Structure formats: structure tokens, C-alpha cells
Chains A and B, each alone.
Chain A
Amino acid sequence: MHRKIFSTGKVFPPLTTVLILYYYVFSLLTFKPVPRDWKGNKDCASQLTINSSTASASTPFLSWTQKVFFMTKKIMDNDDIIRAIRRMAHEIVEKNKGIENICLVGIQKGGVVLARRLASEVEMIEDTHIDVGALDITFYRDDLNTKEEQPIVKKTDIPCTINNKTVVLVDDVLYTGRSIRAAMDALIDFGRPAQIQLAVLIDRGHRELPIRADYVGKNIPTSFNDRVEVFLEEKGKKDKVVLVSGQ
């Protein structure tokens, strides 16, 4: 049953329907998401502001969708990473009083590029050569049967003997500590290092083993479901660290 409001002959729906539709459209247009931090918690708006200028200022729409649907946030940009690596290199030199008996070993695959970047910084500081290796830990992992995908083994290349040397293990993200446990097992099959130290770009907490890093680029509080993604290249032009929160 339709009413004729004007004499044009057009049929209009009841006024209540128009009002409901109008309210619906209006509420959609003016909707603002409840501020959440990357853990997905409400009422943590203060944490959201950390470094968020780079992520949200230029592309507000993108960051809006990112926050609602992906909750992606840039934690470190190119310059932050360069500074962190430089500081870590200085710390390595300082703690070991030079780099004479030191070998850097990156864990495949995220740690390898970081190890090379650290090495070139250390070499610049000390003006001598430092050995850099790559270590694949796939054969030493404890989750062969629990993972969905097939293991893909990468190259292991330890260029020097590690006997009686200080080996600095390098990885991009320190999380449960299980990779580091596996890496230490793998490393010890190559010899008996005098000391093993650990350098990581990101320490995101949630350790499941009694392991801690000696050199940390940045500590980040995260939740269990989050993902930390490190984009790191040899040249270091568009590097970044991104936190993707899982809901």
C-alpha cells in the first residue's frame, strides 16, 4: 500500500523506511573504528601513536583500512634500521674489545642479510675484515611434523673454523627462542666456540626457552597472534619492520 505525497504520480515508500535508510547510510559514513593497539585491545589508544606518523599521515584511507582489517603498522623505517644496526655494531666491538676473534653467523634466512650488514658496519668501525657465515637450522628444528608446509633447506656456509672463537649468532626476530636453540645445536656440530653471543634486530618477547639476546635493535611488545615482518636488503634502501596483528 503506497501513499502519493506529491501529485507527480511517483510512488514513494513509507516515511519510516526513508528515515531508517537515511540513518543507516549516515551511520556508515560517520563510523569511526574504536581505537585498538596492534594487540587488538581496545582502550590502548596511547600505544597506537608510537611511530604511527609514518604509517598513517600520508595515506589516511589506507591506514584506516589497515587498522580495521589487517592492523598493520610500521615499527621501524629505513633510517631507524640503519641506526639500530650501527649501534649494535658498536656494541659488538665494545663488548668484545675489538673484533679479533669474532665470527658473525646469520641464521637462514632472515639473519643472513642482517649479519652481512652488521659485518660491514663493524668493518667500517674497526677497519679490518670480519668473517661472516650463514647457518641453516632446518635439520635441527623440533617442529618437522607439526608444520603444514614442506621444509625448504637453505645453504649453510661457515667460512672459518669456529673453534675457540666468539661466534655472534644473528637473527632478525627473537620470539620463542626455539630457532636459537636449534642454531646453537647446529653450530656446535661445527666445532667448539669459546663463546656464543646473540644479536637480533627485533625482540618481540614470548620466550619459551631460557634464551636472551646480547644485542637488540628494538624491543617490541607484541601479542601471541601478531606477526613481525622484517624487510631487509643488502643495500638497505626500502627496509622496514612491520607488525601485523592477528585477530
Chain B
Amino acid sequence: MFKAKDLLGIKELTTEEIYHILDTASNFKDVLKRDIKKVPPLRGRTVVNLFFEPSTRTRISFELAAKRLSADVINFSITTSSVVKGETLKDTALTIKALGADFVVIRHSSAGVPHFLSRLLDISVINAGDGANEHPTQALLDLFTVLSYKRKIKGLTIAIIGDITHSRVARSNIYAFTKLGAKVRLICPPTLLPSEVNNLEIEVFNNLEEGLKKADVVMALRLQLERQSKGFFPTLEEYFNLYGLTSERLKLAKDDAIVMHPGPMNRGVEIESDVADGPQSVILEQVTNGLAVRMAVLYLLAGVKK
């Protein structure tokens, strides 16, 4: 089943592997409901969180997941490290390996960095987001959340709204949901649609109302304000008027549709507060599931023979 030592992206995974991770995650979710939430399989292993980009939930989630599996965790913060002195990524990685780490969880602003580390190191590398390429654990936890509400993925209509171009979450989710047989719709302004979309078998809508019709899952993406220097849209207000998820618009989707967001949210930009905190929102559930999914990923990678 699970052959690779690394988790680099959803693209590389088979359907079987994805379901194996999700099945294992559901057992870890049961563990997280117990009084004693810690199990011992990764005792004596070390997980290094190597985050070259700011992150709250992914880093904390990985840290907590590793701790729940009894591993030791080192958080590597860029501002207080030798990276500031000009150490290259390669040297940093080799140093971490020399210190005896078993896992590297990496987030980097450039796509392909985890793949580079994977070739460089013989320890497990987990992609926690590389540029605009992939964020596999986010897609896995989204799959897990949808499965827990809808019981199946096949035949569902998933509407992904917002900044597709800059979103690694969108890419991983497109791979994940199409692999498992869901229909994926992208709803975004033409300026925020990546050019490679034509190669994937997905529907594209430039009108939010049209795209939301009869959707089972509505996923709003964060408008990546730090990457919007080129004038992809006039103003934030204009963006909200056209692509903001409001409770009025949500009524167009199916009655039992769920609302997801990978976080962090820009309330009043891509999603209205009423929707984010509304009854259809499963956003906090996603965070909880993320912990179980990351535990499953760490656990399964630990079992791969190197």
C-alpha cells in the first residue's frame, strides 16, 4: 500500500493510499476522543517542523499530532535560525538530518522544495505547503471532513471559490476530489484562474451564483492578500460583492451543503461572518480532523521501510 517514504503531494498518491490514510485517520479520531489522548507508536522518533512561511494551524497541528504519537518535536523558526546568517536550505536540511531527526515537515514559499529535500535526505519528508503547488495534508483533511458528513465522495459536487492561482490548497483539493470521483467546480474571477486548468477535467464558473447551484460542498479559499500586488481585482469590497460567500448565496447550494474554509479566514472578504459561524459551517471540524489526518500520515510514514 504505502511505498514512498515521503508525502509530497496528492498527485503522487493512489486512490488506495488515500483511503488507507483516511481509514487510519478515523481511528486516530477515536483516540482523540479518549481521556488519555496519547498513543506510543512514535516513541523515540523526532519530528522537525521546518516552516519557512508563517503558519498557525498547520504547524500547531503537526506539532500536536507528533506529540500525541509520543514523538519529540523541534520547531524551527526562521527568524532565530542560521538562515538569517545566509545558510542555504541544503545545509539546514543536512544539519537537521545529522542531528538525528526522523521526519521533516516543511513549508516553503517555493514549489518543489519538499521534492528537493526528499531526494537529498533519506528521512521522511512531509510537504506542509510548497508555494502554489500542493498542501497534501489539507486536502486529506478536507476529504476526511467531507466523508464524515456525506459518507461518500463519488458523485458529489465540490465548489471551490476564490483565489485559485495562488492556492496550493485548491490544487491539492482538485487532485484529491477528482481522484476519488467527485465533480469539482472552480468559481473565481478570470484573473485568478491558473492557465493549467484546461488540462484538468473540471468546470470553471466566473459567476458565483451559477457555480453554487446544487453544490454539495462549498469551499471558500482565503484571498492571499500578501500575493495580490498585480491588481487582479479592483478592491476588496468589489471582490466581496462578486465572490464573497453570503448566506443569501449559500441558499443556492443544496440544503444540506457544508461550508469549508482552509483558514485563516478574511471575514468580510471571501466569506461572511454569518456563514463562517453558521450551522452549515464545518470549519472548526476541519481543524480537529486535521490533527487526526496528520497523526495518520506520520504514523503510516513511520511504518514504511527505508
Interface residues of A (CB under 8 A from B): 136, 138-141, 144-145, 147-156, 185, 189-191
Q: Is B242 an interface residue (CB 8 A)?
A: no
B41 with A190: CB separation less than 8 A = no
Kindly list 4 other residue pairs between chains A and B, CB separation below 8 angstroms, not including A140-B39, A150-B1, A190-B35: A136-B27, A139-B39, A185-B40, A189-B38
Interface size on B, residues (CB 8 A): 21
Q: What residue in chain A is nearest B306 (Cβ atoms)? A: A145
B40 with A140: CB separation less than 8 A = yes
**A150-B20, A153-B23, A189-B36 in contact; A139/B302 too (CB < 8 A)?**
no
B39 with A189: CB separation less than 8 A = yes
Closest-CB distance, B113 to chain A (whole angstroms): 27
A153 with B24: CB separation less than 8 A = yes
Chain B residues closer than 8 Å to A149, beta-carbon distance: 1
B305 with A151: CB separation less than 8 A = no
Chain A residues closer than 8 Å to B27, beta-carbon distance: 136, 153-156
Chain A residues closer than 8 Å to B302, beta-carbon distance: 144-145
Tell me the complex Cα distance, A152–B302, Å. Answer: 13
Chain A residues closer than 8 Å to B36, beta-carbon distance: 189-190
Q: Is B34 an interface residue (CB 8 A)?
A: yes
Q: Is B30 an interface residue (CB 8 A)?
A: yes
**A141-B41, A155-B27 in contact; A150/B300 too (CB < 8 A)?**
yes
Tell me the complex Cα distance, A153–B299, Å. Answer: 11
Closest-CB distance, B105 to chain A (whole angstroms): 19
Q: What residue in chain A is nearest B41 (Cβ atoms)? A: A139
Q: What residue in chain B is nearest A140 (Cβ atoms)? A: B40
* Residues from 16 to 46 in B contacting A, C-beta threshold 8 Å: 20, 23-24, 27, 30-31, 34-36, 38-41
Tell me the complex Cα distance, A155–B29, Å. Answer: 11
Q: What residue in chain B is nearest A143 (Cβ atoms)? A: B303
Q: What residue in chain A is nearest B17 (Cβ atoms)? A: A150
Closest-CB distance, B292 to chain A (whole angstroms): 12
**A140-B40, A153-B24 in contact; A189/B1 too (CB < 8 A)?**
no
A139 with B40: CB separation less than 8 A = yes
Listed A/B pairs (18) with beta-carbon separation below 8 Å? A136-B27, A139-B40, A139-B41, A139-B299, A144-B41, A145-B302, A148-B305, A149-B1, A150-B1, A150-B303, A151-B300, A151-B303, A152-B20, A153-B27, A156-B27, A156-B30, A189-B39, A191-B35
Closest-CB distance, B212 to chain A (whole angstroms): 37
Q: Is B2 an interface residue (CB 8 A)?
A: yes
Tell me the complex Cα distance, A149–B305, Å. Answer: 9
Closest-CB distance, A140 to chain B (whole angstroms): 6
**A144-B303, A145-B302, A150-B20 in contact; A190/B40 too (CB < 8 A)?**
no
